[in-house]
Amino acid sequence: MKPVVFSGSFDPVTNGHIDLIKRARAIFGAVAVVVFRNANKTTRFTMEERVAFLKEALQSESNITIDSTEGLLADYMKSHGYTTVVRGLRSAHDWNHERTNAYFNKRFYPALETVFLPACEQYQFTSSGAVKEAASYGADISDLVPPCVAKRLNK
């Protein structure tokens, strides 16, 4: 099986992300999780912190690597020899956004294919933004994020 890329800003990583990563690995055999800097988002955590969260949350998992980069996903994929990216979908809004991204990724790197995985029901409404907002008001977010993230957000 060929390894695939699962990319995102992961600010912070949620259990929904973790679920999608594990499901992608079950399908494709190996996953490269790539943390990107999104110019359209203001992040709470540094790139290094986001990578560290992913490494800690996935430390006991095999066939999953963590990397980070800036720039276009298509450029990263091409330079590392990947041809498949997996994207999670929670809603119709995600579908429209991800379909546009898939179009441009394919345009910039014709060998690139995008595979969409629907979020499982438990995480359909979980987003990094919602988790950060809830945590800022003192809500218990421990079932929405890995323990290392919950600990940091609860500080």
| pTM of the entire predicted model | 0.94
Which alpha helices (DSSP H) does 1-155 contain, by range?
A: 15-28, 47-57, 73-80, 92-108, 128-136, 147-153
| Whole-number pLDDT of residue 92 | 86
CATH of the domain at 71: 3.40.50.620
| Whole-number pLDDT of residue 93 | 85
Contacts of 19 (CB under 8 A, 6+ apart): 119, 120, 122, 123
**Of all residues in the chain, what percent carry a pLDDT higher than 90?**
88
| Whole-number pLDDT of residue 116 | 97
State the Cα–Cα distance between residues 128 and 80, nearest whole angstrom. Answer: 27
Top-confidence residue, 97 or 6: 6
65-92 average pLDDT score: 95
Domain range holding 33?
A: 4-153
Q: Is the pLDDT of residue 38 over 80?
A: no
- How many independent structural domains does the chain possess? 1
